[in-house]
Amino acid sequence: MVNNSLKDLSVKRLKKLNDKDLQNLINDMRSFMISSTSETGGHIGANLSSLEATVALHRVFDSPKDKILFDVGHQAYAHKIVTGRADKFSKLNSYMGMARFVEQRESEHDVIDVSHAGTSIPIASGIAKTFVEENKNNFAIAVIGDGCIVEGMSFEGLNYSVQEKLPLLILFIDNSWAIAPNVGGVLNMTTGNDWQEKSKSFFKSLGYEYFVENDGHDILKIEAKLKKIKENPKPTVLHVKTVKGNGLKIAEEHPYRMHYSAPFNPDTGEGANPTVTGKTFAGEGAEEILKLMEEDKNLYVITPATPYSNNLDDVIKKYPNRAFDVGMAEQQAVGMAVGLALEGKKVICCFQSTFMQRAFDQIYHDAACMKLPIIFLSARTGFAGYDSPTHHGIMDISYLRCIPNLSINFPLDTIDLKNTIRDCVVNSETKKGPTVILHQYDPIEGEEKYVEDKNTTGFSKYSDGDDGIIFTLANALSKAINLKDKIKEKKKLNYSIYLIKNVKPFNSKKFKEIVMNNKSLICIEEHTLPGGLGSILSETITDLKINNNLVRIGIADKFINAGNNLECSKEADLDTDSIFKKIFK
């Protein structure tokens, strides 16, 4: 329930509070954020870290005239509360409810749609440039954490943004954590007894004015520094030290300081979990990686700040010299993998699909061009939950299949996933280029029906039928089964189902053999239609002059809102009824 002090809270009312009422408001906001996310789940750790600094920003500056940009959006809960959205928190993690991050649809105070790190400084510099050109007396403010500032875009923005005297403020919230603990040079710069000296030297050497606040949870001290900054518009960094999960005791013991959690007991921590529970492709894949690490001392594992999405905690803990997190730096992850591979090491690079696209150039220019046998294990392909429309992995096949020397596998089930990972590692010397292994996000319900691909043709028949064929990938198998049942019930037709494992290279010869005596073909995919699996089948039919009727079922050329698989499927017309109507129109 929303506390009375938070109901109808506005930026205008916030600015009028005296010191005592302000502190009471901060306490109410913290309690509300904890109690609310304990019921809905949410990104609580980083939001508790940025609470006081965000409130201070809104008291000193004039949003939305001054533009406040949150990097990723993990830190925007307080921003949402002070801009009058406390009553929306009960709809967090629900379809079309309050966004986990920041989306323009919610408020005039939300400047950008954001869920990927590193975007705030470059975009803020562009906004600040327009303020100068149009003689506007406003600031552009990038709110960024020490985990996000290591992104390549952040460094590029830091480098260029001092080129002119822009009204740009970088609010650097430093709690020594990204999702997982921070790593690398920025961590060295911001820790130790002389961290203020080192940080000041770094930012001032780039050309920024530099302010620092050691207690990032003292709102009055932060507010005083922001007022000074506002008096003299120029590229400025305000560096505030905070505590991730501040005010939530159980966060201190949590492996990610309650970065994200499912609904939890705020006293005991019961229920706290950073990802989906149950049997998952990520969990099963991690088990096989752990076995391979034990067997092969030449194997290395790299992840860019998301060990949880590939269940790598135990792997990193047991083999810290060969399994490591390089921080929120996808290009570094692939670049380092390339270096290891050039020296004869076997490498598995573990990503979330939505973040792997940020390393497209390194996969294309470095790994594939040099035919290096790097394994890219990509989680969360297809619909990926409530994070953001950009978190769905529905474009990975399209942008990957254009890369020469690159293989794309979509394992049939978790047994096949383990076998595929093992085959790629054991036989890496025979691989003439990198391999991407895609797998889904949702937990596995019930027993898996293992579909063995004995002939390694890239196709596996899941069920028989003589009236046509449904082709699909493993993450859309349930959709294919439901469609087969409905066609049988309504049209008295029996379709077979084939799972495709080898997306690239695609076995055109075997495909032609399979479809030779079947005129009616259907392709179902949890992927965008332009360039996806259906496109591959359509191209093959055209190139080989196969006389078949193919209906392609997938996602139109658009973004899909965050949601669970059923909600996303309905929005994309990938539910059984919509598919059936399209086929028999």
CA distances from 346 to 287, 427, 454, 456 (A): 17, 10, 26, 23
**Distance of alpha carbon 521 from alpha carbon 467, whole angstroms:** 9
Beta bridge partners, 449, equal none
User: How confident is the model at residue 346, as a pLDDT?
Assistant: 98
The pLDDT assigned to 1 comes to: 64
CB-CB neighbours of 294 under 10 Å: 11
Tokens 């055209």: give the residue: 542
* Residues in contact with 64: Cβ distance below 8 Å, sequence separation at least 6, in sequence order: 108, 109, 111
Of 135-144, 246-255, 396-405, 441-450, the one with minimum mean pLDDT is: 441-450
Q: What is the pLDDT of residue 306?
A: 86
Q: Give me the pLDDT at residue 261, please.
A: 86
Residue 451 has which token pair?
């579909």
The pLDDT assigned to 455 comes to: 60
Percent of the chain with pLDDT over 70: 99
pLDDT digits (tens, 9 = 90+) for 166-205: 999 999 999 998 888 888 999 999 999 999 999 999 999 9
Contact 488, 505 (CB under 8 A): no
Average pLDDT, the chain: 94
User: By C-alpha distance, which of 114, 94, 92, 89 is closest to 102?
Assistant: 114
Tell me the average pLDDT across 48-63: 97
> What torsion, rounded to 10 degrees, do the Cα atoms 253, 259, 264, 266 define?
60
Mean pLDDT, rounded, for 530-535: 98
Helix (H) or strand (E) holding 571: helix 565-571
Q: Is 404 exposed, middle or buried (0-12, 13-18, 19+ CB in 10 A)?
A: exposed
Instruction: Express each pLDDT in 205-230 by its tens digit.
Output: 999 999 999 999 999 999 999 999 99
Spatial distance between the Cα atoms of 75 and 145, rounded to a whole number of angstroms? 9
What is residue 257's predicted lDDT score, i.e. its pLDDT? Answer: 86
pLDDT at 309 over 90: no
Q: Are strands 459-463 and 495-500 parallel, antiparallel or unpaired?
A: antiparallel
pLDDT on residue 456: 66
387 has a pLDDT exceeding 80: yes
What is the model's pLDDT at position 62?
97
CB burial of residue 155 (10 Å; 0-12, 13-18, 19+):
middle
Structural contact between residues 423 and 292, judged by C-beta atoms closer than 8 angstroms: no
Written as six digits, the tokens of 8 are: 């109808």
- pLDDT per residue over 410-420, tens digit each? 999 999 999 99
Find out whether 104 and 67 touch, Cβ atoms under 8 Å. no
Residues 6 or more apart in contact with residue 353 via CB below 8 angstroms: 378, 379, 380, 381, 384, 393, 396, 438
* C-alpha distances in Å from residue 580, one per residue of 61, 475, 486, 488, 558: 54, 19, 8, 11, 21
Q: Which helix (H) or strand (E) holds 152?
A: helix 152-160
> What is the amino acid identity at position 451?
V
Q: What is the pLDDT of residues 312-333, one digit of tens each?
A: 999 999 999 999 999 999 999 9
Residue 182's pLDDT is what? 86
Residues 89-118 pLDDT 10s: 999 999 999 999 999 999 999 999 999 999
H, E, C per residue of 62-108: CCCCCEEEECCCCCCHHHHHHCCCHHHHHHCCCCCCCCCCECCCCCC
Asked if pLDDT for residue 237 goes beyond 80, the answer is: yes
The residue among 451 and 71 whose pLDDT is bigger is 71
Q: What is the pLDDT of residue 443?
A: 86
Task: Give residues with Cβ within 8 angstroms of 32, minimum separation 6.
Answer: 2, 3, 6, 81, 86, 89
- CA 453 – CA 475 distance, rounded (Å): 17
At 403, is the pLDDT very low, low, confident or very high (cuts 50, 70, 90)? very high
Strands 346-352 and 375-381: parallel
SS3 for 287-318 is HHHHHHHHHCCCEEEEECCCHHHHCCHHHHHH
Instruction: Quote the DSSP letter at residue 476.
Output: G
Is the per-residue pLDDT at 450 higher than 90? no
| Per-residue pLDDT, 262 | 87
Over residues 356-363, the mean pLDDT reads 97
Model pLDDT, residue 46? 92
Question: pLDDT tens digit string along 254-281?
Answer: 888 888 888 999 988 888 877 777 899 9
pLDDT of residue 453: 65
Residue type, 61: F
Question: What pLDDT score was predicted for residue 259?
Answer: 87
* β-bridge partners, 459: 500
Give the H/E segment covering residue 168. Answer: strand 168-174
According to DSSP, the β-strands at 140-145 and 67-70 are parallel
Short-list 455, 406, 411, 469, CA closest to 432: 406
Percent of the chain having pLDDT more than 90?
86
